[in-house]
Amino acid sequence: MNVTNRLILIPLLYLSLAGSVCPQAPLEDEPRTKTDLREAIFRYMFEHYDYGPDVKAFCIQPERPQPERFLGRFSGDKRRVVWASDCELTGPMNGIRQKKTGERGVRMTILSIQWVNDGEAEAKVQAFSDGIAANWNILRVVRRDGHWIVKSDTNNGVS
């Protein structure tokens, strides 16, 4: 193979591998049941892991990336719901702040969801307010009358 052919093959080889090395696959649509489950988990966390009236935003992080429209499910809530990437830890005592507004927030994370059966799941979650206030819990969530309901909430750690 001569030098010219090799020089042509190098860019072609690079282009053919570039797509497979770092693919940007679009988010797959999930069954509505799982999206509803994720929403119910976050709503439960908002209500039960509230760190006080000075919290102005809930910074959520699902266990897997979600489309932007997922945030629309919380548009009517009394507190802003934003992605965790829109918030930052400003120091051990100053806590979580929404980057855009500087207002105090709480980071709510779904660490994992494991299906028990079609109508029941277990979720490991974390609520993080600042460097010294966090809790880890295991939620048992069941589907009743078309809605997800938290059946049990077991504390798995506190800081």
Q: Report DSSP letters for 54-66, one per residue.
A: T--EEEEE-SS--
Residue-level pLDDT at 50: 76
pLDDT of residue 53: 86
Per-block mean pLDDT, blocks of 10 residues, the chain (159 long): 44 35 47 93 92 89 95 90 92 82 94 95 92 86 95 87
Q: Which residues are 43's β-sheet partners?
A: none
What pLDDT shows up at residue 44?
96
- Whole-model pTM? 0.79
Q: Which residue has the tokens 């072609």?
A: 12
* DSSP 8-state class, residue 77: S
Q: What is the pLDDT of residue 156?
A: 86
Distances in Å between the Cα of 66 and the Cα atoms of 29, 62, 82 are 9, 7, 12
Buried b (16+ CB within 10 A) or exposed e, 105-116: bbbbbbeebeee
Domains of the chain, by residue range, sit at 32-158
